[in-house]
Amino acid sequence: MTLKKIIERFSEGILFTSSTVTTVAVLFIVIFLFKSGISLFKTSSIEEGYSLALNARNPVKKLTSGQVKDIFNGDITNWKEVGGKDQDIQLFTLDELSAAYTEEQMGAKFERLPSCVEDYVSKNENVITFFDNRYYPKHFSGHLLEMPPISFKEFFLGREWYPTAIPAAQFGVLPLILGTLWVTLLAILIALPIGLITAIYMAEVASERVRRIFKPVIELLAGIPSVVYGFFGLVVLVPAIQQLFRLPVGETALAGSIILAIMALPTIITVSEDAIRATPVSMKEASLALGASHWQSVQYVVLPYAKSGIMAAFILGVGRAVGETMAVLMVTGNAAVMPHSFLEPVRTIPATIAAELGEAPFGGMHFKALFALGIILFIITFIFNSLVEMIKSKNNQ
């Protein structure tokens, strides 16, 4: 075997190994993402190690996380509202326990806390307690409240995102999904026409001198960190939107969309322009020779030939818009509320993950919920890419 063949075999082995390792790594990441996210739907919204308890004579056996939240927030004050007797609801937590019993009754090291909880719950039929499981006696006369696991309906259609709420966390991601789509779609509608028009100008109209100046500048914009765009938006764009539309705050979905559009433009322009310039000169000359004008040649020859590259630019631009975190976090107001217009604060899925993952306890409900958001983001990106491929395949027929 010659040295040349040995080098070729070695190069092929390196390429094969590199592609295999990359594919396996991506698969492991996707598997870990889905495994961690799906596990959220096997747990209840009550923090692990804690329980809600009622008096044994209370007929209520189940409560949803929303009902628990409303009870502890004071929005639900009577057991009749949740299927119980016509009695006022009495909350009993550590604060009420300290007020009801002396230090001597609870013990110097709180060793008699379980007996205090037992005593209070047995005497008050309308009470609901929230304690660490260690504070309930082994032979508790009351009954621990059964909390159903978080359902897909509750997760995807819920309108409240309070992952750290006590005692029942709220994991409604509908505002986050709509906020992400709201910001991304407007950013695409802004960036795609401008990017394609600019690419056509640079490839077919601009002189070589102008192109040599603009091309490096546009490519340089793609390398600017997203936090810089965020600062620009926060200092320049947000006050401008606030003054122009006379809003209380300028951190809105519109600001996020404009920033995302600016960030996606370099990628869309560069890739589209390269695809347009890759059109064979012979095809354009043949079109012109048949009597077509310059713009007719661009419309009927150049753009159809370059549509694969333009679609690739679209996919890359959408990926940049959907997955962006820091810039969006800085200019959209970061409010997990249902969006009704582009002039209101919103919160996107990537911004939520970036802002909360560092504070979420590893393996806890909040941690799992953020991974579930990652699954949603993965699916949204996959759908966008699939739609583009479908359009691309239809155009090729």
pLDDT in tens, 3-15: 778 888 888 889 8
- Alpha-helical segments (H) within the chain: 3-38, 65-73, 94-100, 103-106, 113-123, 152-157, 174-200, 208-221, 226-232, 238-245, 253-277, 281-289, 294-297, 303-305, 307-323, 326-331, 349-356, 365-396
Q: How far apart, in Å, do the first and last CA atoms of the chain sit?
A: 46
Q: What is the pLDDT of residue 172?
A: 92
> For residues 362 and 167, what is the distance between their CA atoms, to the nearest angstrom?
19
Average pLDDT estimate for 281-292: 86
Residue 176 in contact with residue 373, Cβ under 8 Å?
yes
What distance in Å separates the CA atoms of residue 23 and residue 198, rounded to the nearest whole number? 35
Both tokens assigned to 96 = 């009420």
What class does CATH assign to 50-148?
alpha beta
Domain 174-396 classified CATH 1.10.3720.10? yes
Predicted model pTM: 0.85
Tell me the pLDDT tens digit for each residue of 24-63: 998 998 899 899 899 999 888 888 888 999 999 999 988 8
Give the span between the Cα atoms of 4 and 42, in whole angstroms: 58
